[in-house]
Amino acid sequence: MSPEEIDACMAEAWQKQANGEIDAAMRLYQAVLAAMPQGHAGARLGLGQCYLEQRQPDLALQHLRAALALAPQSGAIRHLVDALAGNTTERAPDDYLRWVFDGHADTFDRHLAALKYRGPWMIRSLAERAWQPDASRALLDIGCGTGLNGPLFRPYASRLDGIDLAPRMIEQAKRRQVAGRPAYDRLAVAEIHQFLEQIPARVYDALLSTDVFIYIGRLERFFAQAARVLRPGGEILATIERGEATTPVQLMPTGRYRQSDSYIAELAASHGFQLADSLDAPLRVEQGVAEPGRAFRLVLGDSR
């Protein structure tokens, strides 16, 4: 194959993989490897993902390790290797998050609908129990993605900002409308911790976080900044994938993190938050299996 033919083959394989045509994608990846005896990191990565789809983690790990040997600078591939090898790390690398989310920005909402994803509606339920829709709050939607939280929380917001690490996700969020107007007042491409550390103290009434902690892993840095940027009585509305009671943070083979209830409770208390409400429900359904999740509303004490 010529370099152009290899690029075309990889593009077709990626598209078939994205469409769920796993066997066809694998044949194309294997054709690329046959044409490149020196190896091709993208083809190895693609095969690893395909074997994951087929629930063959040992073969997936074999190909992902081969991909990492060819591209040792890739934090994205290393994260997948760690996830399958059972190595719990601090957080998912930025290049992994951009790769996952920018690569699926155009079809992201349809994909979440197929998974029966409920994160935004879970935290909206908590807000409905406690808030009046009086457009009085300054809200920050961290890891806002395509903006699913926007229409749900616009009635509560005098100001609704959103940040996300993936530029193409932010482009989708910019298109989100409520009553013919943009759902968000401000949208920015930013890493969550860096954004929070750079803004003034006590500027927001609530932070919204759906399917974000599952990629941060360790949450100490986030909670420290949340306590700083929230006003007295400010709140965190967030979701987690519920982990084992004895393991504070665990990186799963999916590449996502789970946090234990006790870890969240201890971390919240140490930064002045009290648990005001929670809701347990499946976050999504993958391959017929419901992912146990929890939404919680944490309130910051007035004295700091």
Buried b (16+ CB within 10 A) or exposed e, 267-278: bbeebbbeeebe
pLDDT in tens, 80-103: 999 999 999 999 999 999 988 887
Owning domain of residue 190: 109-300
Task: Show the tokens assigned to 126.
Answer: 């908590």
pLDDT in tens, 257-282: 999 999 999 999 999 999 999 999 99
Task: Please report whether residue 244 resides in a domain.
Answer: yes
Task: Show the tokens assigned to 83.
Answer: 């996830």
Q: How many Cβ atoms from other residues are within 10 Å of residue 287's Cβ?
A: 7
Residue whose tokens read 């040992």: 58
Task: Please report whether residue 83 resides in a domain.
Answer: yes
DSSP class of residue 179? T
pLDDT in tens, 216-244: 999 999 999 999 999 999 999 999 998 88
Mean pLDDT across the stretch 16-25? 89
Q: How many domains, in total, are found in the chain?
A: 2
- What pLDDT is recorded for position 103? 75
Amino acid at 162: G
Task: Please report whether residue 100 resides in a domain.
Answer: no
- What pLDDT is recorded for position 302? 66
DSSP class of residue 106? G
pLDDT tops 80 at residue 252: yes
Say which residues have a Cβ less than 8 Å from residue 133's Cβ, sequence separation at least 6.
Answer: 155, 156
**Residue 225, CA distances (Å) to 104, 142, 190, 195, 231 in order:** 29, 12, 15, 10, 12
User: Within its chain, how far is the Cα of 267 from the centroid?
Assistant: 20
**Residue 16, CA distances (Å) to 12, 28, 80, 110 in order:** 6, 9, 21, 16
Percent of the chain with pLDDT over 90: 83
Query: Domain with 260 in it: what CATH number?
Result: 3.40.50.150
Please say which residue of 87, 120, 150 terminates a domain: 87
Task: Show the tokens assigned to 289.
Answer: 């299996």
Collapsed DSSP state (helix, strand, coil) of residue 60: helix
Mean pLDDT across the stretch 135-142? 97
Q: How many Cβ atoms from other residues are within 10 Å of residue 220's Cβ?
A: 12
Domain match, 201 and 263 both: yes
Domain match, 82 and 113 both: no
- What pLDDT is recorded for position 99? 87
Query: Domain with 44 in it: what CATH number?
Result: 1.25.40.10
pLDDT band for position 304 (cuts 50, 70, 90): very low
Domain match, 136 and 244 both: yes
